[in-house]
Amino acid sequence: MNFEEMRTQFAILKDQLKKQEIVSDHLLRATMKSKRGSINSTKRSCYIAVAIALMMTPLNFYTHAWSLAFSIVTCLMLIFCAVATYFIHKPVDNLNFMRDDFATVARVMAKFKKQYNQWLYYVSPAILIPWITWACYEFAWKHAPEGVNPLWMCIPLIVGAVIGGAIGLYYHFKAVNAAQDIIDQIEEK
């Protein structure tokens, strides 16, 4: 084998490696784009839950199950949560997985994951514990029929809070795990 043949074979191998790298790059970017679907489903679920809850608020004026102050605070809390969800998700929505460099994608995903976890561990308890306590007072102590222990009337609220919390945790971890999967894929590359 002479020098020219080796040079030709080396050029062919080099071209094949470049093509393989481009394919794996596109495959990685397509996978990251599909993972964003899991993150966006969390956002959509939040918006749907807020919209349904806000549409149900006028029913309170007919049933008088909750005070006007509680209904207003609940609506404001839901709007605050929807706006916070929008701002936490905005950097992820602005990403273009097919064009943005991997360092930018990894940085945005790490920031999203951090903010999402901070929301779960700090903000959610600070909002939900006082709100559930107030809901128990409004529903059970104010409206308990004569001779019924108000604690028994808190059971449906607490069961609803546990079910809602489980659904919320499912969507939270779905989004955080998708962000972590994207970060892991980038680090493997």
Q: What is the mean pLDDT of residues 29-54?
A: 88
What is the per-residue pLDDT across 102-146, written as a single tens digit (0 to 9) for each?
888 889 999 999 999 999 899 889 999 999 999 999 888 887 788
Residue 28 has pLDDT above 80, yes or no: no
- CA torsion through residues 66, 70, 72, 77, sign: negative
Give this prediction's pTM. Answer: 0.77
What's the mean per-residue pLDDT of the chain? 86
| pLDDT at residue 21, as a whole number | 56
- Residue among 59, 61, 56, 99 at smallest CA distance from 78: 56
What is the per-residue pLDDT across 4-24, written as a single tens digit (0 to 9) for each?
777 777 777 677 666 555 556
Q: How many domains, in total, are found in the chain?
A: 1
Three-class SS state of 129: helix
Question: For residue 162, what are the domain limits?
Answer: 3-188
The one-character DSSP state at 98 is T
> What is the rounded CA–CA span in Å between residue 22 and residue 24?
6
> What is the rounded CA–CA span in Å between residue 29 and residue 152?
53
Amino acid found at 28: L
